[in-house]
Amino acid sequence: MIIDLLYLVAAVCFILALKGLSSPESASSGNFIGIAGMIFACLAAYLSTDLSNVVLTLLAVCIGGSIGVCIARSLSMTALPQMVAGFHSLVGLAAVLVAFSAYYAPEVFKIVGEFGRIYKSSLIEMGLGVAIGAITFSGSLIAFAKLHEIYKGTNVPKELNAFLGSSILCLLIYFVLTDSQCAFWLLTFLSFVLGATLIAPIGGADMPVVVSMLNSYSGWAASGIGFTLHNDLLIITGALVGSSGAILSYIMCKGMNRSLFNVIFPSGQDDFSAEKGAATVRPYQKGSAEDAAFILKNAKSVIVVPGYGMATSQAQHALKEMGDLLKRNGTIVRYAIHPVAGRMPGHMNVLLAEANVPYEDVFELDEINRDFATCDVAYVIGANDVTNPAAKNDPSSSIYGMPIFEVDKAKTVLFLKRSMGTGYAGVDNELFYAQNTMMLLGDAKKTTEAIVKAL
């Protein structure tokens, strides 16, 4: 009774946590509700099991907890997507291990029927759990390596993935019908391979969608474990994670004007061996912090477009200070956030909230894009791909189709970055060379601080 109640409270906490995390204002309380839910869940799981392994259980909690704390404390915020991918891989691996435990010790899981045979429904759960878990595990590891830039990617023939996918489906059916040990192992092996071959060819600019998709897979894998362990909370939590990850993938695809199918099965062949970073050198206008301060002082309306570079340089506090100074001068200052700006969903919102930028000054792509045409200054701070007109004008570009901020329509564009190099997608940006663009080369934080001083 107590255990059921604890599970119920935990499930409600998780739902409320998701609700809280949907807005920057309530994200912090949402996070705490989630932590409380997890404590209730652990407590219930602990009370519902055989208490003979107290020492081992506590030891596992201590080791796991300490590793988690160390990773979280040592990680920079820009490396969060990698961390998320790394943690997803563990959920996938857990699903595989639980499925194997259940297969080799079915009596412990109470899934044996007449003549010592495992129930068909349990075979389905195990087969699905092992397949989704293995795909999540190897896919997440590849995503981690790509996001951490230790692996660039490889083109994989679509036919190979189609072959692996259909083989896995056939093996799954065969396994459920025959309970064949050989099919179970082969199913696991091919799923590990498919996870890697699915993610390896996906282009850099699509990695945010991949991370969120793997998040969804890991949720379904956890749900699968829940069925095997007869744990309702795990089923509910897995379904919450699975569906929220799927919805987020959909929202991001919409933000990049891509279909999920097109992201998972890229149509073109990418040149993964190409080095990115060095854009073609052409004449451009270079400015100083004093020039920028002069332009900003005379502007009636400024739209700030933050990107990954603002995060790496931690320029958000200096930016807020600059915004406040301009506002005091009577300038309208707004912040425009692209759905895939930075390196994870909500990256820019979190940083601006940390610097106490008022929520009412922060706008999404659809809300503000047409206002660039009437604004005096677009202050592009460490953003690049999300402003790149190639997404609109060049069908051969890897970012073609992604909606962008039309910053070129502003009277003046101030571009803060360290060099003339490209952004995440490795595509040169025509805007750097435009008549109305002034390049402010240097670290975004230092440049913004210099502008504040000049103002």
By the criterion CB under 6 A, which residues form the site for ligand NAP?
Answer: 81, 205, 207-208, 307-309, 312-313, 340-345, 347, 382-386, 416-419, 421, 423-425, 443-444
| Cα separation, 316 vs 185, whole angstroms | 51
Q: Phi and psi of 118, rounded to 5°?
A: -75, 140
| Cα separation, 428 vs 417, whole angstroms | 14
For the bound state, the minimum distance from the C-beta of residue 256 to ligand NAP, rounded and expressed in Å, comes to: 7
Q: List, as own/partner pairs, every contact residues 77-83 make where C-beta atoms lie below 8 angstroms and the sequence separation is at least 24, other chains included.
A: 77/311, 77/347, 77/350, 77/351, 78/308, 78/311, 78/312, 78/342, 78/343, 79/148, 80/343, 80/344, 80/347, 81/147, 81/207, 81/208, 81/211, 81/343, 81/344, 82/144, 82/147, 82/148
Q: In this chain, which residue has its C-beta nearest to ligand NAP?
A: 423
CA 207 to chain centre: 8
For the bound state, the minimum distance from the C-beta of residue 422 to ligand NAP, rounded and expressed in Å, comes to: 6
Which CB atom, from 122 or from 384, has the smaller least distance to ligand NAP?
Answer: 384
Which CB atom, from 175 or from 308, has the smaller least distance to ligand NAP?
Answer: 308
Which CB atom, from 385 or from 449, has the smaller least distance to ligand NAP?
Answer: 385
Residues 6+ apart with CB under 8 A from 47: 2, 3, 6
For the bound state, the minimum distance from the C-beta of residue 189 to ligand NAP, rounded and expressed in Å, comes to: 30
Which CB atom, from 297 or from 418, has the smaller least distance to ligand NAP?
Answer: 418
| Residue 385: active-site member | yes
Instruction: Write down the catalytic residue from 232, 291, 324, 385.
Output: 385
For the bound state, the minimum distance from the C-beta of residue 187 to ligand NAP, rounded and expressed in Å, comes to: 31
Which CB atom, from 334 or from 418, has the smaller least distance to ligand NAP?
Answer: 418
Q: Dig out the tokens for 146 from the structure.
A: 């790509």
* β-pair partners for 438: 414
For the bound state, the minimum distance from the C-beta of residue 415 to ligand NAP, rounded and expressed in Å, comes to: 9
Which CB atom, from 111 or from 390, has the smaller least distance to ligand NAP?
Answer: 390
For the bound state, the minimum distance from the C-beta of residue 315 to ligand NAP, rounded and expressed in Å, comes to: 7
Contact predicate 249/212, CB 8 Å: yes
- The residue written with tokens 């025509």 in the block is 430
Q: Residue 281's CB: how many other CB atoms inside 10 A?
A: 8
Residues designated as active site? 385
